[in-house]
Amino acid sequence: MVSFVKSSDRHPLAAESPPTLDEVAAAAGVSRSTASRALNGGLRVSPAAQSAVDAAAKVLGYSPNRAARSLVTRRTDSIALVIPEPDERVLSDPFIGATLRGISAALGPSNKQLVLLIARPDESGARIGTYLHSGQVDGAVIVSHHRRDRLEDAVLGSRLPAVFVGRPSHDEDSLHYTDVDSVAGGRLGTEHLISLGRRRIAHIAGPQDMTAGKDRASGWRAALQAAGLPSDLYGQGDFTTASGQEAMDRLLRIEPEIDAVFAASDLMAVGALAALRDHGKSVPGDVAVIGFDDLGGAANASPPLSTVRNPVVEMASSAVERLLGLLDDEAALPEKPAPVVFFPELVERDSTRVR
């Protein structure tokens, strides 16, 4: 049962003052933070609590004043999505597209606005760091970060609530993040190739100033070492199709007898398929190929690409949920936040199936 304060029971001056959030919470029998979430979209609020708050707000005539609340709380009701990549990468990379889908889904029930911050070509993260410190956003989700961006330092140097999608390069014990276990993913993909009887297994790695690139290479190397196989066939890419094609071409010139390739992204794996065709190699007859991500392009490749599924949408949604939780209670920021880590899954298609 929800009890309400009658207008006639309020102090005479109350008629001239609008009801407060605390009054709504008290009337609804919930905490102030629950009342706030219910009035701002209902994220993580039970149906019973939502109904009680809605009824209390209606009876009391409560109407949130966003401008006044911003002046009092210094909140902007905006969060930044930070992508320290050039424009063309943002528009074309399926990883970033999936991240946007996950963030949009998680923000849907809230009243938060999304501010997109993209790095200019050849600039460091200093400009973005300055913006994050300016008070124009309440928090940030940071994706596709590189060591050179120094965004981790910017977050650590402020009290701005922030969550990384992808493990930070350093100080990971002090930063909030969600990630996929890329070391396990690298092992999973490589072990699948080993199980097919492949013995000259190359790797096209992602950027080594990103933890995803380093970790997937570590998983590839660990799987080969455990099987007693050499790990000398290593190429470098930047998660793009063109870089995968160039790396595959170089590897084939070094070792024409390569019989399998694990690429650290599906885009690079698609580039590898093109290079293999140019060299007259059949897939998977001569060379089995596996990628990493499974964000749509793998299933449409020729042949359809085996891959390691990266749950990017879920990771991004989890990052937003973590950030909204931090914004609810900034004083509760833990000194050693626990990361949310997803486990990858193998998706087998024709690029590793010998008929």
With a CB cutoff of 8 Å and minimum separation 6, the contacts of 150 are: 124, 125, 126, 129
Domains 74-180+313-341 and 182-310+346-352 share a fold: yes
Calpha distance 91→97 (Å, rounded): 8
pTM of the model: 0.77
**Could you tell me the fold of the domain covering 7-64?**
434 Repressor (Amino-terminal Domain) (1.10.260)
Fold classification of 182-310+346-352 is: Rossmann fold (3.40.50)
Walk along the chain (355 residues) and give the pLDDT tens digit of each residue: 343 333 334 434 334 567 888 888 999 999 888 887 787 666 678 888 888 988 988 888 886 655 444 434 456 788 999 888 877 778 888 999 999 999 988 988 887 888 888 876 556 567 777 788 777 888 899 998 888 777 888 777 777 889 999 998 877 778 899 999 999 999 999 999 999 999 999 999 999 999 999 999 999 999 999 999 999 999 999 999 999 999 999 999 999 999 999 999 999 999 999 999 999 999 999 999 999 999 988 999 999 999 999 999 999 999 999 998 888 765 555 556 789 999 999 999 999 997 7
User: Where are the alpha helices (H) located in the chain, listed in sequence order?
Assistant: 21-28, 32-39, 47-60, 66-73, 87-92, 94-107, 126-132, 151-156, 182-195, 211-226, 241-254, 266-278, 312-328
φ/ψ of 263, rounded to 5, equals -105, 145
CATH number for region 74-180+313-341: 3.40.50.2300
Residue 12 pLDDT: 40
Tokens of residue 171, six digits? 């100080």
Distance CA 3, CA 39 (A): 18
Pairing type for strands 345-347 and 306-309 reads antiparallel
DSSP classification of residue 334: -
Name the CA dihedral angle for 326, 332, 333, 337, rounded to a multiple of 10 degrees.
Answer: -100
Instruction: Show me where the domains of the chain are located.
Output: 7-64, 74-180+313-341, 182-310+346-352
142: helix, strand or coil: strand
What pLDDT does 113 receive? 86
Residue 7, pLDDT score: 37
